[in-house]
Every structure is written in C-alpha cells, then in structure tokens.
Amino acid sequence: FVCQTARSRPRLDGHLEDEVWSRATVLDLTSAQHDDDAWPAAAMLAYDDEFLFLAISCKKAPGRPYPSSSETRPRDPDLKGRDRVSIRIDLDRDYASFYRLTADHRGWTGEACMENVHWDPTWYVASEETETDWTVEAAIPLRELTAQGPRATDVWAIGLQRILPGVGIQSFTKPAAIEPRPEGFALMIFQ
C-alpha cells in the first residue's frame, strides 16, 4: 500500500476530520474468521519530513466493557486486557527486527523495540471515545525510528492489527496473531 505525504499535519484530537485523512489509504482491519461485522476497524498512515502519522478508527465490540480511567497515562501500562491496535514497523524488511507501538481505546500506549519494552520513544497520541466507537490519532517522530526519514519510493514492512481480548483479532494482512507473524507484514511504499 502507499503512504501519502501529508500536505498539512493533522490536529491530534482523535477526530479524523483532517485533510490528510481524506487522502490517506484506508486499511481495513478484518478477522480471518469473518466474524467481525459488528466491530469493524480501519487504520490510515501518512508522513511528512518529521513525523509518521497514524489514525485508527474502531467500532466497540458489543457487550464488551470499555472502562475509562481518570489516571494520568502511565509509561508502558499493561494493555493485555484492553481493546487495542498495534503497529509493527520493520524499516529494513528483515522480518526479524521491528518497532512495536500500541494504543488502546483510552489512548494509553506501549512501545517496544525488538520486543524490548525498555525502548521509550517520545510520540504524541490523542484519543476520542463515544458510546459506540473509539479513535486514536498519533504522530511518531521519525527521529525515534531512523536517522534519516523515508524518501519517496522507500519501502518499509508494516504489521497492523487490532486485538480484542476474548473477542478476536483483526489485521490488515493475514496471518495475524497476538505474537508477531512477520509473514503477515505488508509493504508500505512512501509517495
């Protein structure tokens, strides 16, 4: 898929109404069991010379609790019991070393580099939640991922999936699993 250059940066507020999202490729996240009509999800990516932008839109799973929290977002909280989306970014396409960035329905985040959770990049996340949906917008500084940002025609491998504990897994590509499956990564071409 193509990752478009952002003509203007999104305002990180969890509302996916910015011009950049109207131009971005929509990546539908689906279940291999085709049992997810009631809880669809999608993601979009864009970039500029400083950031990789990510937008996530998810319908809440019927009957699933989505407790909120008034706490300040902690560093690397346990998100295992939460509805969440993870993106894995493999810059050199070796399918062995990659970054993992995760955001849940509250906008709480977790990160790892080659599954080392002590990698703590600075990235910016905003979330919005309604009775039926949740969204996340994120800006990931490219300097946190690479010394030189991508140029047009550069290619990264991307794994993108939503995990709903006790409900299912959705992914842009197959196969998908909670643990990384590099053969399920897609190629993202910068344009």
3-state helix, strand, coil in the chain (%, to 5): 5, 40, 55
Return the pLDDT at 176.
77
Rg of the chain on CA atoms, in Å: 15
What contacts 89, CB < 8 A, 6 or more positions away?
52, 98, 99, 100, 101, 145, 156, 157, 158
DSSP 56-107: EEEEPPTT-------SPPPSS---TTS-EEEEEEETT--SS--EEEEEETTS
| pLDDT for the residue numbered 178 | 77
Query: What span, in angstroms and rounded, lies between the C-alpha atoms of 98 and 137?
Result: 21
pTM of the complete model: 0.94
Instruction: Give the per-residue pLDDT at 74.
Output: 84
- 1, two tokens: 């898929």
User: CB neighbours (10 Å) of residue 176?
Assistant: 22
What confidence score (pLDDT) does residue 71 get?
Answer: 86
Q: What are phi and psi of 94, to 5 degrees?
A: -90, -10
* Chunked mean pLDDT (size 10), the chain, 191 residues: 96 97 96 93 97 98 90 88 95 94 96 92 96 98 95 94 94 82 90 93
Tokens of 150: 């991508």
- The Cα 35–Cα 51 span in angstroms is 35
Q: In this structure, what DSSP letter does residue 184 have?
A: G
What is the reported pLDDT for 76?
Answer: 85
Cα 67 → chain centroid: 21
- CA-to-CA distance for 170 and 38, rounded, in angstroms? 12
